[in-house]
Amino acid sequence: MKFLFIVAISVLFPTFAWAWGLSEALNHPWGKARLVFSVINGNSINYCLQIADTGLFQDQSISQQIEKALHLWLEPLRELGIHNTIISRVSCDSPLLNLWVKVGPDADFPSLYAYNKEQKNANGAYTYTKVTLNTSYIYKTGSKQYGTIDFIKFANNDLNRQKKEMDLLSLKQMTLAKFSATRNIDWLAVYYSPYKMLIHEFGHSFGLCDAYSAQAIDSCDSKFSSRDQPPSIMRDAKFFYLTGDDIIGIRRLFARYLSPG
Ligand SMILES: [Zn+2]
């Protein structure tokens, strides 16, 4: 049942969907690897970045995208009294590691574009989670095909511009459709960009489940899930900001584990 451990984007057009939900994995030992626990217990997230496709993807650009995407999920937690969570970059063999981001070809699950999977440390305990962006994945539709494009391409390879751009995307509540229309590019080209994927996958890294199609039944805890169907990062993943549903989800996730009072 390896599939149950994996949460990934594989369905573009959901036939039915759920709203926010907490991952069923949280009920198992491997659920301890999710970021909700590193934030509640240590108010920190230590990530590492491994880029196998150097040349196509810039280290500084991806690391900026990682930090921005993490901040998007942390922001709504202020209401719960969780402030100033420290995000640090560490080496991938650090014992402090909470989150490993790998950007490169993936032989384990070649048919998935992006996925999140809990990992064991050297002592056999689940202490970190790993997000893989499979850069060899190609989505084909008709005569067109789409591979992954680093978000910095949309900012003319300028790191400062990329940072401003990402800040504006959440501030203006930008959808993929609006963004691609203003740039006159195909929205599917934007869909397969690391920044957007990281926002969705980090939802899983924290402890949220997929809210689309059959994935929801497999990956969500029915005791901690809504049956409404609003648009969200965890359902449609067509946004550069958290929708109201995502915000409810991340707050419910933390509220579940924060000790009362
Ligand atoms: Zn997913």
> Residues 74-90: pLDDT tens digits?
999 999 999 999 999 99
Ligand 1 centroid, distance to 89 Cα (angstroms)? 24
Ligand 1 centroid, distance to 4 Cα (angstroms)? 12
Ligand 1 centroid, distance to 229 Cα (angstroms)? 16
Ligand 1 centroid, distance to 9 Cα (angstroms)? 5
Ligand 1 centroid, distance to 200 Cα (angstroms)? 6
Q: Are 37 and 26 in contact (CB under 8 A)?
A: no
Over 80: is that where the pLDDT of 11 sits?
A: no
Show the tokens assigned to 92.
Answer: 């991938």
Residue 147 covered by a domain: yes
Mean pLDDT of the chain: 88
Helices 35-42 and 244-257, axial angle in degrees (round to 10): 60
Q: Which domain holds residue 190?
A: 19-257
Residue 26 covered by a domain: yes
> Which residue in 42, 35, 32 sits closest to 86, CA to CA?
42
Helix, strand, coil fractions of the chain, as percent rounded to 5: 40, 20, 35
Ligand 1 centroid, distance to 261 Cα (angstroms)? 32
Chain position carrying tokens 């950007």:
103
More confident residue, 26 or 8: 26
Residue 10 covered by a domain: no
CATH number at residue 32: 3.40.390.10
Q: Say how far apart CA 259 and CA 254 lie, in whole Å.
A: 10
Number of domains in the chain: 1
Residue 198 covered by a domain: yes
Over 60: is that where the pLDDT of 248 sits?
A: yes
User: What backbone phi and psi angles, to 5 degrees, belong to 199?
Assistant: -60, -50
Over 70: is that where the pLDDT of 221 sits?
A: yes
Residues with CB under 5 A from ligand 1 (ion): 7, 210
Which pLDDT score, from 0 to 100, does residue 228 have? Answer: 72
Ligand 1 centroid, distance to 114 Cα (angstroms)? 8
Terminal alpha carbon distance of the chain: 38
Residue 92 covered by a domain: yes
Residue 5 covered by a domain: no
Ligand 1 centroid, distance to 8 Cα (angstroms)? 4
CB count, 10 Å around CB of 238?
20
Which pLDDT score, from 0 to 100, does residue 12 have? Answer: 45
Detail the DSSP E strand segments found in the chain: 7-8, 21-23, 44-51, 86-89, 99-104, 114-120, 126-134, 139-141, 144-146, 220-225
Residue 154 covered by a domain: yes
Residue 247 covered by a domain: yes
Ligand 1 centroid, distance to 234 Cα (angstroms)? 6
Q: Is 174 helix (H, G, I), strand (E, B) or coil?
A: coil
Ligand 1 centroid, distance to 152 Cα (angstroms)? 23
Ligand 1 centroid, distance to 24 Cα (angstroms)? 13
Ligand 1 centroid, distance to 54 Cα (angstroms)? 25
